[in-house]
Amino acid sequence: MNKDFISIHDLKFAEIEEIMVLTTDLKQKQKNNEKHEYLWAKSMAMIFEKPSTRTRVSFEIGMWQLGGLAINLDQEAIGLGERESVADVARTLSRFADAILIRTFSHDKVIELAKYSDQPVINALSDRLHPCQAMADVFTIQEKKGSLKGLKLAYIGDGNNVCHSLMFAAAKLGINMVIACPKGYEPNEEIVKLAFADAKVTGVEIDILNDPVVAAKDADVIYTDVWASMGQEKQAKKRQKIFSKFQVNSKLMDLAKADCIFMHCLPAHRGDEVTADVIDGPQSVVFDQAENRLHVQKAILTLLLGGKNG
């Protein structure tokens, strides 16, 4: 596996498969209360410039279950890129910790941190990508559907960081993906080019359009996310109007296959991007997704820090 975990695009199919297989094993061990302290006495420094519930809790508990220690850094004290340069923080933390995690706005900070760190850097979210979430998502789909190849994943909403990482994961793993966004809110062009290149290799179809009805038709999975991500709060009212026709509701779900599952990375705004009856209904797997963040991230940590045979 690469030194860092920054983008699913960087991974080979075999590396993704290795994460998935190890995730299954670690999840089973956790359910059976079997010790799996593969990272005994290992440590991770966590930098959170964006608020977090699932990411912080899942990584802290995951590292503890693996026998290691995760330390959350005081953001006002660290002042990444302001009080101290990103390069100096990377050099310093990599002398103390065995891994550095960052959840931030600027993807450039993730890249710079990895450049100057001697230890693995994990992208726990940037404005560009959310690879840990997408790995948990495809693991969840595999659990529910048995296999991934040839499935249709419909992503409805904003072409954001979650959408970007899902595109990379779908392209690598053989999932056909249809993305429906309002005009002007499609995925980043550079990400699209990279995902299309991956899809060409695997024979996957990725379509980007502006019609949620077409996207949802015969889908195996329907996925959505908030219309205004962190840092876009001032655009929330404007986006509500623009995205109103992209709400995932029972009418849209009825266009998909009968056994279609609904996914959302959370937190969710019931009544905006999804109705309560859908997210709280029988087709929803959102809390399975949330749980699988724990197991997938433990697998990523184990492989990055060389504890697989511990």
| Adjacent-strand bridge partners of 262 | 222, 284
CATH code for the part of the protein at 8-130+291-304? 3.40.50.1370
The residues of the chain that CATH labels 3.40.50.1370 are 8-130+291-304, 133-289
Give the global pTM.
Answer: 0.96
Question: Does 260 belong to an annotated binding site?
Answer: no
**Greatest pairwise CA separation for the chain in angstroms:** 55
Q: What is the DSSP letter of 274?
A: B
Please report where in the chains the tokens 């693991």 appear, as a residue.
139
Return the structure tokens found at 66. Answer: 């693996």
Residue 83 catalytic? no
Taking the C-alpha atoms of residue 10 and residue 54, their distance in angstroms, rounded to an integer, is: 24
Distance CA 294, CA 292 (A): 5
Question: Annotation-wise, does 225 bind a ligand?
Answer: yes
What local confidence, expressed as pLDDT, does residue 231 receive?
A: 67
For residues 223 and 260, the answer to whether their CB atoms sit within 8 Å is no
Round to whole Å and give the CA distance between 259 and 28.
25
> Is 11 annotated in some ligand binding site?
no
133 annotated binding-site participant: yes
Please tell us whether the domain made up of 133-289 is placed in CATH 3.40.50.1370. yes
| Catalytic residue check, 133 | yes
Question: CA separation (Å) from 131 to 5, 7, 74, 281?
Answer: 8, 6, 24, 27
Distance from CA of residue 5 to its chain's centroid?
12
State yes or no: is 163 an active-site residue. Answer: no
Beta carbons of 283 and 260 less than 8 angstroms apart: yes
Catalytic residue among 265, 272, 289, 297: 265
Active site residue 25: no
pLDDT of residue 310: 40
Gyration radius (Cα) of the chain, Å? 19
Catalytic residue selected from 133, 247, 289, 297: 133
Instruction: Give the pLDDT means over successive 10-residue stretches in the chain (310 positions).
Output: 93 97 98 97 95 93 98 82 89 97 96 98 97 98 97 98 98 98 98 98 97 98 90 82 97 98 97 98 98 98 81
Query: DSSP of 54-66, one letter per residue?
Result: HHHHHHHHHHHHT
pLDDT digits (tens, 9 = 90+) for 7-35: 999 999 999 999 999 999 999 999 999 99
Annotation says 98 is catalytic: no
Q: What mean pLDDT value characterizes the chain?
A: 95
Round to the nearest angstrom and report the end-to-end CA distance of the chain.
Answer: 17
Selecting among 36, 128, 264, 293, the annotated active-site residue is 293
Q: Is 88 a catalytic residue?
A: no
